[in-house]
Amino acid sequence: MKGENTMTVQTGEITIKPVSGRIGAEIKGVTLSGNLDSGSLHTLKQALAEYKVIFLKGQHHLDDKGQEEFATLLGEPYVHPTVPVKEKSNYIFELDSDSGARANHWHTDVTFAPEVPKYSILRAVIIPKVGGDTVWANTNTAYEELPENLKRLADQLWAIHTNEFDYAYTRSEDLPDDEARKRRRAIFESTIFKTRHPVVHVHAETGKKHLLLGGFAGRIEGFTTSASERLLSIFDDYVTRLENTVRWQWTEGDVAIWDNLATQHYAVADYDEHRVVRRVTVGKSVPVNVENEASSLIGKK
């Protein structure tokens, strides 16, 4: 797939400019708020369906409340199953590098639960002068590039996802001390989920096939540990090929919105300065495979 969406599109006063060949577009002419008009909201949703992740610069007016109010226009807020929201907020999930939070691992948000959030809205609050970019990958083009025999295999497979580790806190060198890691891990694993998801899910809105893997996918059902690891590595290689990604260099006031069920993402931990981003997730969907069989919770304790 060659990435045919390479032209800037003007819709009224809104400009949509692709920023890579297969995923991602910058949107201009929209000021995000809880009062966003229906036409602009429709344009954003169309852009999300086509480009998977969209970027809006200059949204400095947004605070936590404004971010939450805008996010609810895209769907019902999805509160993280184990991690408390940011203090004095309703739905904000904060990643603060001073607490050791550097999500430098490929992942799709909250796939350890059977109901996966649809959209994530991430706001840049404090950004290093250099570094701290985020990369997104298109999981549909990853699937489409698989050889036909591998597609047929992937269509039949199921993976077990769990939160028995936290991708944002697993690297000890990123943590200020062992106690911080222990506290965070205890919170993140306060309830352990194990969920059975199809390796290939059919997107509920677009009907396209996507690989559903990432950092919470621990093993492929029905395979030995070593065989499962090899299969996961093969599929992950297709997802994370550079041709299949877009990298965003943040400035404070930027907002990224992505289709969580059509992407994976990775926060690049190449900085020493303070970095704070705040996320709201909305909507939820239970993935289904090519035979319309749904994901299911297989363990919770």
Strands 158-162 and 193-198, by their bridges, are antiparallel
Single-letter amino acid code for the residue at 219 = R
Tokens matching residue 158: 């199921």
* Beta bridge pairs of residue 196: 160, 296
- In this structure, the number of other CB atoms found within 10 A of the CB of residue 211 comes to 27
Distance of alpha carbon 161 from alpha carbon 297, whole angstroms: 10
Candidates 277, 270, 269; CA nearest to 251 is 277
Torsion of CA 103, 118, 204, 166, to 10 degrees: 30
- In this structure, the number of other CB atoms found within 10 A of the CB of residue 65 comes to 13
Q: Is 80 a catalytic residue?
A: no
Candidates 62, 65, 64, 54; CA nearest to 28 is 54
Candidates 7, 293, 17, 264; CA nearest to 141 is 264
Q: Is 61 a catalytic residue?
A: no
Single-letter amino acid code for the residue at 48 = L
Q: Is 105 a catalytic residue?
A: no
Q: Is 42 a catalytic residue?
A: no
107, 123, 161, 201: the catalytic one is 107
Distance of alpha carbon 56 from alpha carbon 118, whole angstroms: 19
22, 265, 275, 278: the catalytic one is 265
Is residue 245 left, alpha or beta, with left meaning phi > 0 and alpha meaning psi from -120 to 50?
Answer: beta
64, 109, 166, 254: the catalytic one is 109
Candidates 204, 196, 174, 193; CA nearest to 75 is 204
Candidates 131, 132, 285, 99; CA nearest to 206 is 285
Catalytic residue positions, numbered: 107, 109, 265, 279
